[in-house]
Chain A
Amino acid sequence: MTSFGFVTDSCGGCHPGGGPLEYDRNGNRYDLFASDPQNGITSGGDNKFDGDYYKARWSETGVVEVDCLLCHSPGYNMEERNWQLSLLNFKWAATAGAGLAKIEGAVNKGETPSVAYQLTEFHSEGHLTIPIIKEVATENCLFCHQETDWKKKGTSYSPRFDVHLRAGMKCVECHPSGSSATNPKINSKEEHNFAKGDDPGTLVRDDLDNTMVTCQECHEKGLHSAPVMKHASFLEHEGIFEAHSEKIACQTCHVPQKAVKAALVQDSTALNLLPRVPGLKRIWSFYGPDIKPWNYYGEINLTKGAGKPLFLYAPQMRWYKGKVFPVSSLYSIWYGLKTEGREGLDQVFMQDIWKTWSQKDRYPLLQKIRDDNGDGFLEINRPEEIDAVLSSLTSYLKNEGTLRKRVVVFIDGQEVYTSAQQKATLEPKEFEYSPYGATFKLSHDIAPARAALGSNGCNSCHSKGSAFFKRPYMVKPFDASGNPVMTAAYKILRYSEEDLGNLEVEQE
């Protein structure tokens, strides 16, 4: 992906502008650099395969500056802004999104867009009148987080399932920034680093982890009119709450149920032919928490963000930094490229996977791939299937002249196959399926005390055969027959049979 493609290939649909949408890797503003004849940049040209200018048209499109009103104006029209980006009207997008003017014309048609300002948005002197707020409204945060936190975390952002949204709280009350923040790392005037948690799946600015307002800060002191926690069902056993809270995160009991699917498996090794899946995204087959095919892109396309389908399930739990958390942990299946003597893996381009599968006549071994479990998605699970895809993709890349000295590998969770008979095993951390599959902690969709685990006493979790410890967790999505391999939750949590005996202490 190029810097220009970062704007046009859907990433710009959430990025608020500035940074990589404004400046190249040398710190030059794209449009000014591209317009300067001394730099020899041709609009739309190869430009010496420089990733910042390859086939880019910055001199015509302009750049995407930080769009302040995207966050700070209630009623901002994100759809209109993104429509303008799709027309390559980069520098016009902020004007259209804020509703200040109607933009006609499109750079991608070779036109220079015209601007017709809406006089209703200006005072009689010409000053701007639209509403601007310092504290960003939740709706504006959800322009981006509504969708991105769906596939990865299954976050509903619905007052029905989240006690904080039901109380009318805004995102920025727990995720403040600037002078509103209490943590000294982010507390300064105009600082726009928002207080954040500590998510194992997201690695940007990890130095700012745990700067957000914690559960305890509000529920011990009653800030934001929060109810002070009582944990009444623990009171009859002295010290038992403290013993739990040492090892168990608040979310573990207060996110007992999820209401929206998150992807449990992402398989990018065969094409899925489900309806409404856009372009190259057909190489991604998602499976939901029930390990059944999930047409995520189809649902987005069909619902247009009007509502996420209801799907109730209990989240998995994992240890992370000494505590048990509810998580969405992803099992990934994909093609990599290994180079002798070089650590790590490269990946096969999406278009190469697409083109290989689209030319099944040229790569007849692909005919061997079967849908063993009859769920509608092809899965690469039998030895002959692994060898068939590795051979086919290798042939394709050789034909294209792009394989070079690399070897195609098939990665199934923690296993890296060079052939069906030869594999290496990666060592995942205790919270992940594989070092290549992200795990996201779940900290939204918080249930109130009366709906939390333990609200009906110890037996919620500690009865014989309790679902908390015995619930089946997926180990691997497909065995040789295409069926999932499952195990009990306590094993994933690394408890022994003896530990389990001590944990199942059913109360009368």
Chain B
Amino acid sequence: MRRKYAKWRDALLLVVMVIVVVLDISFPAVAGSKTGKDNDGAFVGVCPPFFIRDERGIPINPVKGENVEVPYSPKQTCGTTGCHDYEKITKGYHFQQGKDEEPSRELTKLYQWVLSPGQYGGRW
């Protein structure tokens, strides 16, 4: 009984494969990987296997004992020599904390010490 179903399953799988090959239908992630790019990255959303890198961008390979004396650099690993736009990401307000902004006139009228709208220096 089980063998009979397996036969039908194999046949169905073969038909699907033929259709895919003949019509050149491929899944988006596979299509993206052909070019090494993933369009806008929104579909893939998963990092491919990668090496961590040091501040100079040189890979660290603990398994092979290569370049293992130094800490990894998130900037080089994920950003500069990796896949992500480090400069754009670090413009986010979680990272800048107001450093890239001027304080408003309303703030400077009150506080002589503020240089940004961030919570630096004891503004309550």
Contact = CB atoms under 8 A, between A and B. Distances in A.
Interface of A: 1, 6, 11, 15-20, 22, 62, 65-69, 91-92, 94-95, 100-101, 103, 113-115, 117-119, 122-128, 132, 134, 177, 179, 189-194, 202-206, 208, 266, 330, 332, 339, 342-347, 350, 435-438
A115 B70 contact: yes
B97 A19 contact: yes
Interface stretch (B3-11, B13-21, B22-30, B45-53): B45-53
9 contacts: A15-B97, A67-B74, A122-B61, A126-B59, A179-B41, A179-B42, A191-B88, A193-B93, A204-B93
B117 A203 contact: yes
A6 B98 CA distance: 14
Contacts of A179: 40-42
A115 B51 contact: no
B63 A119 contact: yes
Given A189-B40, A203-B107, A122 B99 contact: no
B71 A101 contact: yes
B95 A66 contact: yes
Nearest to A6: B120
Given A16-B94, A119-B62, A436-B124, A128 B42 contact: no
Nearest to A31: B55
B79 to A, nearest CB: 8
Contact of A126 (B63, B103, B123): B63
Contacts of B119: 202, 204
Contacts of A15: 95, 97
A120 to B, nearest CB: 10
B81 interface: no
B50 A127 contact: yes
B31 interface: no
Contact of A343 (B84, B92, B109): B109
A126 B61 contact: yes
B63 A124 contact: yes
B2 interface: no
A202 to B, nearest CB: 8
B36 to A, nearest CB: 17
B74 A65 contact: yes
Given A18-B95, A206-B117, 18 more contacts: A19-B97, A68-B78, A91-B71, A91-B73, A100-B52, A115-B69, A179-B40, A189-B85, A190-B85, A191-B88, A192-B95, A194-B92, A204-B96, A208-B93, A344-B109, A344-B110, A344-B111, A438-B123
